[in-house]
Structures are given as C-alpha cells and as structure tokens.
Structure 1
Amino acid sequence: MTTGKDDKALRRRLARRLIVVQEEQRLRWSRELHDDLGQILASIALELHIVRADSHEMDTRLARAAMLIDQLSARVHDAAWSLRPADLDRLGLRASVEDLASVLCGQLGIPCEMDLEALSSPLPAEIALTLYRIAQEALTNIGKHAAPSRVSVTAHVQDDRLRLAIEDDGSGFDGTAEPGPGHLGLAGMKERLALVGGKLSIETAGGKGTTLYADVPLTG
C-alpha cells in the first residue's frame, strides 16, 4: 500500500524523467538543425555567393537569393540554440547565460549589468540546465512584456546555496493576481526548480519592475 509521501516521490521522479527525455529530444533536434540543415544551407549560400550570371538582372536575383539563405541560416542557428545551446555543454553555464542577456539587451538597445562569476564553477548537469532554462524564460518574458530601460543578471553563493537574480526596471505586474498570458511560465519555473531542490521567488509590482530569484542547493 502506497502512502501520500510515496505518491509524491513517484510523481517527482516521473517529472524529472520527463524533463530528461524532453532535453534529450531538444539536444537531438538541435544537432540535426545545426549540423545537417545548417551545413546544407551553408553550402547553398557558398554556391550562390561565388556564382555569377551573364546579366545584371540575374546577378541581382542571385544576390537576393544568397541574402535570403543567409537569413534562413541565422534563423536555423537561433532555433538550434533555443532548443539546446551547444555552448552550455562546451563553454559552460556562465557563458551561456551571459550570451542570453547580451542578446536580449542588444535587441532592446539597453544596458545590461552582469556579475556571473558564481556560475563559473562546475555544477551538476541537471542544476546547470535548470538555471539556464530559468534565465532563458525570465529574459524572454522581459523582452516580451517588461519594456525596461536596464536589466541586471547576477549570481552569488551564500550558505551552500546559489542564487541567480534577474532584475529589470520595466512595467512589472501584480504578483498577487492570477498569472496572465505573459506569466504562465512562472509556474513551470517553480516546478522545475523544485525538482532540483530549488525555489523561485519574485518581487514585483505594477510599474515598479521585477526581480526574480532562483535559489538552488550546492550540496546534496
């Protein structure tokens, strides 16, 4: 006979297994997009860039086709990155989160303050991936909904716990209200952090900006 505690532990194991399977699929799709489709597009672009026709009109059309292929290649690269960034495994969590923040702030044309030295030390793969996904979701939400003039992304270690903090001075929202369409990802972030023994907390108010804290344990 199972107890409520046993049922909760089973649900947690199943949820963690589901995340592992999802990330394995994302990694496979990312590699296929980047290595296979990306290589084909690069080859086509190279051919288009070096071929020359006998007429100005045809040259113009070829140049336009090469430009479109280049744009498509960039989108394939971005899609592969969003599925599972190769740099997360190759360069580590710090560089990957710095890249996320730099890209967002570059797109918005705003300053980005970063202090992520605490992410330089090796972390268990599950925790590193969880923190990456939290940063990805939080920064995406900022880009879509906050309209900030600055963003801050920091990480610090205290009492055997690592805290990732993502702050913006944008529109904020009512943290006591039911999540709207722009904040449905918060529940997913909380659940994902809970699976690695972590906790999500948010400080926000309408017109006052938002600070998101993701705390994870550094010991078992």
Structure 2
Amino acid sequence: MLAITEWELQRILLDIHDGPVQHMYAALSQLDLLETALERSSSTDPEVLLRKDRIRTLLEDGLAEVRSFIGASRAPEFEHRPLRQLLDELLLQHEHLTDTRIALQADDDLPAADLPVRIALYRILQEALSNAYRHGGASRVEVSLRAVKDAPHPRLRLEIVDNGAGFDTTNAPGESHFGLRGMRDRVEMVGGAFALASTPGEGTCVRVEVDIL
C-alpha cells in the first residue's frame, strides 16, 4: 500500500510540474511583456508600477516554494537503497537548506528494513524536520535510529527531538496543519506505533516504532 501511495505522490508531483508550474512560468513571461510595454509607453503611474512589482514578487515566491516542495518530495530510489543511506541523505539536504544543526545517532548493525518501512520512516522524518523548522523555529534536531532490543520481533525505533517552540498538544491546531495525521497514517500502514510529546518553549519529540516486515 505504501509503495502505491508513493507512486501516487510522484504522479501528483509530475502533474504539478507539468500544469501549475508551467502556468506560473507563462504568467511571468506575460509579465515581462507587460513591463516592456509600460517602459515603451513611459507610464509612471506609481500605483500601476507598485501592483506590477507585487504581482512579480508573488509569482516568483510561489514558484520557488512549489519547486522546493517538488524537489524535497521526489522519491530517492527507495527500492535500491538501505534505510540508513536514505536518512543520511535527507539529513544532509535539510541541513544544507535550513542551516539547522542535526545530530544523528544510529546503531551500526541496523537490521535491513523492507520497502514499506523504508518509505514510511523516510517520509515521517522528512515531515518532522519540516515541522521543526517551519513551525517550531528549531535550530537543532537530534535524530536516533535504533533496533529495539527487547521486542518480541525485530523492531526499529526512530526518534526526532527538536529545540523549537513546541506547542500544547491538548490545544493544538488540527493534525493536518502539522502533517501529524499523515505521519500517524504512515505508521498505521506498517503496523507501527506513533507517539508525540511537546511542551510550549521546550520543543517536540516524535517517536515511531515499527516491526521490520
């Protein structure tokens, strides 16, 4: 199921790239023509020029945000790469884009995880990092990936702890606002357990445990 969901995500990303993104590029091209026409007509109406500049800023900012989303969401060849390698690359990418300091602790002898588990843990870590940066303003994140030693079946534990603003979990915005529902759903799809702890001013901790399928 998760592999199918990931395929659907990639199809949606392609549709966004071939549809709305191209329309935004076309709108910027039309705006270039409008600016040229205004220059030729020597129009100096400050209100017109201000609105024109605002339109360009909105289009360029929107395009940059959509392209960033597409780039971050592209599938990193889940089928052919081990979990540790996938997560290492994601952490390096996040550090580069956000200047967030990330400390990773991982067992050297992690058991191999099947495709659905690799997809789920990658996307959960990706969402948790995004939340820590965008909503929590975190400057440091600690990530640990461990094998659960006392579990009856081979099991992995992923924990993400940030030093961000935190929030009151009893009075938080809808789960969809922070992508929490998506994280919970991904864990449920692989039969795992999801836990969230957060306190205003003290950061947030996301913990996931999954059996290795």
Indicate whether the TM-score tops 0.5: yes
Match of 1:166 among 146, 160, 168: 160
Deviation at 1:173, TM superposition (A): 0.7
Q: What corresponds to 1:65 in structure 2?
A: none
Q: What corresponds to 2:119 in structure 1?
A: 129
* Kept in 1: contact 2:107–2:147 (CA 8 A): no
Counterpart CA distance in 1 for 2:178 and 2:137 is 18
Deviation at 1:165, TM superposition (A): 0.5
Question: 1:128-147 maps to which residues of 2 (within 5 A)?
Answer: 128-147=118-137
Counterpart CA distance in 2 for 1:130 and 1:208 is 26
> Which whole-Å deviations, capped at 9, do the CAs of 1:139-183 have from their partners, x for residues lacking one?
111121111221111111112321100110110111112434784
* Kept in 1: contact 2:82–2:113 (CA 8 A): no
Counterpart CA distance in 2 for 1:90 and 1:139 is 24
Q: What corresponds to 1:105 in structure 2?
A: 95
The DSSP-based 3-state class of the residue aligned with 2:135 is helix
Counterpart CA distance in 2 for 1:215 and 1:125 is 16
Higher helix share: 1
Counterpart CA distance in 2 for 1:31 and 1:180 is 28
* Kept in 1: contact 2:167–2:201 (CA 8 A): yes
Q: What corresponds to 1:157 in structure 2?
A: 147
| TM-score, normalised via structure 2 length | 0.64
Change (3 A) 1:152 1:109: same
Change (3 A) 1:165 1:120: same
Q: What corresponds to 1:84 in structure 2?
A: 75
Match of 1:24 among 7, 10, 16: 7
Q: What corresponds to 1:212 in structure 2?
A: 206
* Kept in 1: contact 2:163–2:204 (CA 8 A): yes
* Kept in 2: contact 1:203–1:211 (CA 8 A): yes
Q: What corresponds to 1:5 in structure 2?
A: none
Change (3 A) 1:118 1:142: farther
Change (3 A) 1:164 1:119: farther
The DSSP-based 3-state class of the residue aligned with 1:191 is helix
Deviation at 1:79, TM superposition (A): 2.6
Amino acid paired to 2:211: P
Change (3 A) 1:181 1:78: closer
Percent identity, aligned pairs only, is 30
Deviation at 1:28, TM superposition (A): 5.6
Question: How many residues in Structure 1 have an aligned counterpart in Structure 2?
Answer: 162
Structure 1 unaligned spans of 5+? 1-15, 34-71
Match of 1:198 among 192, 202, 205: 192
Structure 2 unaligned spans of 5+? 17-62
Deviation beyond 6 Å, 4+ runs, structure 1: 29-33, 75-78
* Kept in 2: contact 1:30–1:81 (CA 8 A): no
Amino acid paired to 1:123: A
Amino acid paired to 1:161: R
